[in-house]
Amino acid sequence: PIRVVTKSSDCTKHPEDPTLFVAKFDYFGIDRATQLRIKGYLRNINEYKEIKSFDEDDFAFHPENIFLTDEQKRVKTVVVLDSDEQNRKQLKNSIMDNMQQVNVIEDSSYYLFEKKYLLNEDEESVPLREHEIYDKKVVWKVDAAKFEFVESINPPKDEDLICGNAAKEFFSAPREWKFIFEEGYAQDLVFENLHALERNGEKSILVDIRHADKSQRLAQLILRHDINKIEMCLMPPSPDALKRELLDSVDAIIMDERMVPRDFENWYMNVSQRIDQQHLNANGQPLKILTFADPKDINDEDFDFLLRKKIRTLLMKPVDSKAICYHLSKALDNKFTRYNSDNIGSYAVHWPAYVAKKVNLVAISEFGCTIESEKPLRIGTTVFLHGFIYNHAPNQNLCARLYACEEDKKNQGMFKCYFTYFGIDDHFLKYTRTWIRENYAQQKSLNA
């Protein structure tokens, strides 16, 4: 069997059976091997077409089309955020080449995008000026593994300053250099880019540095990897560094999953408010967030975190042009691409499938179990339990029915759901009894 993680994208009443619904799901974080396996199966079916029509005129935007609403005619703006310049430009080109009525801007971080487009006049950044540092550039090297200070290329004198602060202090201990930068997000951004810097690679970022008067200055920081060291070069930003395009709206953000903040809800609310304040929410709809990741960088905890948030999809690098345009087409209601949902081929089947949700199992017995859920479940709900000891049941799952559900008083926002097994056979019942007996004895021994 194939197991994939999905997010529901649409749910409508069944056209023929009023007791049923038709739900559509999109893959979320599907890996390349599984995707190729599914594609390989479909390509062996004669009736299957990956793309129904390749005629570009079928998807071309015609402004004179009287059946289009003003919202459908509007040019939507997509923001691509990635510290990897090559990848973000490739994403931008993929979208621009395959979709009409869309404008794409790209930046190295949300931090920089916010400074360019979302700050109020009284918040706008003040660029670092040459006279505020003791040389045209301040250059030092850190260890590539621990990021501890190694040497200063142009060492400061006793009287030298960096934005009014004693320069020598920043190079007096292994990690003192980080206090050149504003505490919080600015320091996090620097370390994030140090970690992401590839061998012999180079990165240029804009970041706030601390001024002695408790204000900030926006500086350019260039990172260069050199064998087992990283050179850090601080200087005033170039004239083009804060160059910005004229925006009419911000409709979607496509970002590296490493940039997604852990306090996602607060961040999302703040971004949405700033977009509203800058009059960039053209249709009053919620901001759409799409993410991508390098498979080797994302773990199960990160994956589950993204799955629970208001994130429409997670795509694995290298990001497929068809996939990103398909998801953007749905997010923006933009049909002006051959990869819109109406033109993507599908094959009708009538197969039994399990639609599962990951939960925490908190207690088991030979007759039932208790699980934790973020939402209350209806009494009488029937589920099929997968994973853990239930892999040893017939068909690698066990049917259970909910008989009680209550809010967990010790864990706010969670619900305890109590299930009784339904149709358990003798073989699995014996296995469960043995497992409980052995693990109970082991736990008693550990406690003792």
Please report the domains of the chain, with CATH numbers, ordered by start residue.
Answer: 6-118+243-332 (3.40.50.2300), 126-235 (3.30.450.20), 360-447 (2.40.10.220)
Buried b / exposed e across 279-303, counting CB within 10 Å, b at 16+? Answer: ebbbeeeebbbbbbbeeeebeeebb
pLDDT confidence of residue 448: 43
Question: In the structure, what pLDDT confidence band is assigned to residue 199 with cuts at 50, 70 and 90?
Answer: confident
Residues of the chain with pLDDT > 90, as a percent, come to 75
pLDDT confidence of residue 445: 55
Mean pLDDT of the chain: 92
270-312 pLDDT, tens per residue?
A: 999 999 999 999 999 999 999 999 999 899 999 999 999 999 9
- Mean pLDDT along residues 220-238: 94
Q: What's the CA gap between 217 and 180, in Å, rounded?
A: 11
Q: Which of 79-83, 353-357, 415-419 has the lowest mean pLDDT?
A: 353-357
> Could you tell me the pTM of the whole model?
0.83
Backbone φ and ψ for 232, nearest 5 degrees, come out as -115, 120
250-275 pLDDT, tens per residue?
A: 999 999 999 999 999 999 999 999 99
Residue 143 has pLDDT above 50, yes or no: yes
Question: In the structure, what pLDDT confidence band is assigned to residue 37 with cuts at 50, 70 and 90?
Answer: very high
Residue 412 has pLDDT above 50, yes or no: yes
Do the beta carbons of residue 311 and residue 291 sit within 8 Å? yes
Coil, helix or strand at residue 281: coil
Do the beta carbons of residue 268 and residue 287 sit within 8 Å? yes
